[in-house]
């Protein structure tokens, strides 16, 4: 079988990573893909048996999967993350990345991790994206969230200009070079679906500054930058900066009703882009890392420590992450 090999790191073993992976692979059984699971084989088997005993029939059997086995050194209790579960998820991500960089796998799907447990294990990173950039030897990677509406089939794409930093640091991080680079990245990604995409840029301040009454950044340099970028990219239509509180209205209409909305959104900070994305597509959105030498996707949810072990975790976002890794590899 010449199917694409997809590396899938389990994430924090105290969370729902193993559960959603086994559920997702069972639901994707008729798709042409070859998953390589990076984690602890015993943990995967125990998760499988527990879910079976809970009456969940649709599960991939770990005995039928290729597992890159990195055993856990201590027993894990579902929902109780420890420094050693953080260390395990860090090591599994590192090993999975090496498999892709070595050419054994074509792309990477990552299960959810707990950043504070990475730190407890001695690994000080803002998230998996930053660790991946380090492993790949690139200065940084862009974080884009993509989701396809199950109602209209319209695709929502939101790129974050800044990611895991305190809100007070956002204005200092935003520069003309950064925004120009992010626009280039968003444009290139959206061309997967439309050769002449329409891009919308959110403002930073309420009402996008309202002519300097509520902030100066937009008028001082963001609007002139967007005008210059537009002149150099005639095949793109850009709009903005728009008031953040209404910027995603077209996305809501396009997600639920007939009509094509923008091809891509540029959010200037983390929650600005993630609130509308999760409101519309929490169960189906995919976190995509751009700027790496390979494609990385991840479900748009966390470790789910509060529901780990209960068997109720939904696998739809993990399924979307795996399918996106195959589609865009």
pLDDT tens for each residue of 140-183: 889 999 999 989 999 999 999 999 889 999 999 999 999 999 99
- Convert the pLDDT of each residue in 217-231 to its tens digit: 999 999 999 999 999
User: What is the model's pLDDT at position 3?
Assistant: 83
The answer to whether 198 and 233 are in contact (CB under 8 A) is no
pLDDT at 108 over 90: yes
At 29 the pLDDT is 81
Which pLDDT score, from 0 to 100, does residue 125 have? 93
Query: What is the pLDDT, as a whole number, of residue 70?
Result: 98
pLDDT in tens, 8-43: 999 999 999 999 999 999 999 877 889 999 999 999
What integer pLDDT is reported at residue 139 of this predicted model?
87
Kindly state which CATH superfamily the domain 142-290 is placed in. Isopropylmalate Dehydrogenase (3.40.718.10)
Site of tokens 């050194």 = 73
Confidence of residue 319 (pLDDT cuts 50, 70, 90): very high
pTM (predicted TM-score): 0.87
Distance CA 108, CA 7 (A): 5
**Domains 1-139+296-329 and 142-290 equal at CATH topology level:** yes
**Helix count and strand count (H, E) for the chain:** 12, 11
Alpha carbon of 52 to those of 56, 81, 310: distances in Å?
A: 5, 23, 12
Residue 126 banded pLDDT, cuts 50, 70, 90: confident
Domain ranges in the chain are 1-139+296-329, 142-290
Return the CATH number of the domain spanning residue range 1-139+296-329.
3.40.718.10
Q: Name the residue among 90, 97, 80 with its Cα closest to residue 293.
A: 97
Nearest CA to 322 out of 303, 299, 301 is that of 299
Q: What integer pLDDT is reported at residue 1 of this predicted model?
A: 58
Q: What's the CA dihedral at 196, 202, 208, 212 to 10 degrees?
A: -80
| Antiparallel, parallel or unpaired: β 286-290 and 295-299 | antiparallel
Q: What is the pLDDT of residues 188-206, one digit of tens each?
A: 999 989 999 999 999 999 9
Question: Under a CB-based contact definition with an 8 Å cutoff, are residues 185 and 159 in contact?
Answer: yes
Q: How does pLDDT run across 274-299, given as a tens digit for each residue?
A: 999 999 998 888 999 999 999 999 99
- pLDDT at 310 (0 to 100): 96
CB 33 within 8 A of CB 4: yes
């Amino acid at each position: 079988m010449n199917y694409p090999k997809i590396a899938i790191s389990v994430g924090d073993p105290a969370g729902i990573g193993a559960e959603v992976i086994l559920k997702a692979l069972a639901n994707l059984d008729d798709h042409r893909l070859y998953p390589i699971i990076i984690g602890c084989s015993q943990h995967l088997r125990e998760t499988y048996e527990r879910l079976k005993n809970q009456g969940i029939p649709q599960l991939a059997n770990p005995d039928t999967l290729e597992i890159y086995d990195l055993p856990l050194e201590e027993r894990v209790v579902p929902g109780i993350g420890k420094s050693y579960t953080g260390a395990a998820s860090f090591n599994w991500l590192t090993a999975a990345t090496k498999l892709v960089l070595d050419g054994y796998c074509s792309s990477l799907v990552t299960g959810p991790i707990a950043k504070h447990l990475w730190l407890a294990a001695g690994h000080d990173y803002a998230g998996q994206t930053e660790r991946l950039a380090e492993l790949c030897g690139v200065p940084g990677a862009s974080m884009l969230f993509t989701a396809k509406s199950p109602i209209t089939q319209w695709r929502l794409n939101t790129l974050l200009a800044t990611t895991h930093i305190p809100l007070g640091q956002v204005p200092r991080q935003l520069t003309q070079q950064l925004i120009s680079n992010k626009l280039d990245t968003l444009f290139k990604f959206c061309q997967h679906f439309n050769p002449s995409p329409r891009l919308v840029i959110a403002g930073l301040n309420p009402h996008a500054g309202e002519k300097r009454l509520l902030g100066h950044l937009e008028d001082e340099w963001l609007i002139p930058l967007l005008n210059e970028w537009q002149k150099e990219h005639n095949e793109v239509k850009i709009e903005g900066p728009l008031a953040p509180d209404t910027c995603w209205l077209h996305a809501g209409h396009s997600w639920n009703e007939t009509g094509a909305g923008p091809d891509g959104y540029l959010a200037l900070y983390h929650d600005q882009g993630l609130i509308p994305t999760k409101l519309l597509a929490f169960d189906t959105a995919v976190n995509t890392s751009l700027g790496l030498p390979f494609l990385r996707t991840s479900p748009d949810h966390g470790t789910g420590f509060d529901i780990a072990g209960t068997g109720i975790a939904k696998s739809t976002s993990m399924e979307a992450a795996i399918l996106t890794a195959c589609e865009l590899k």
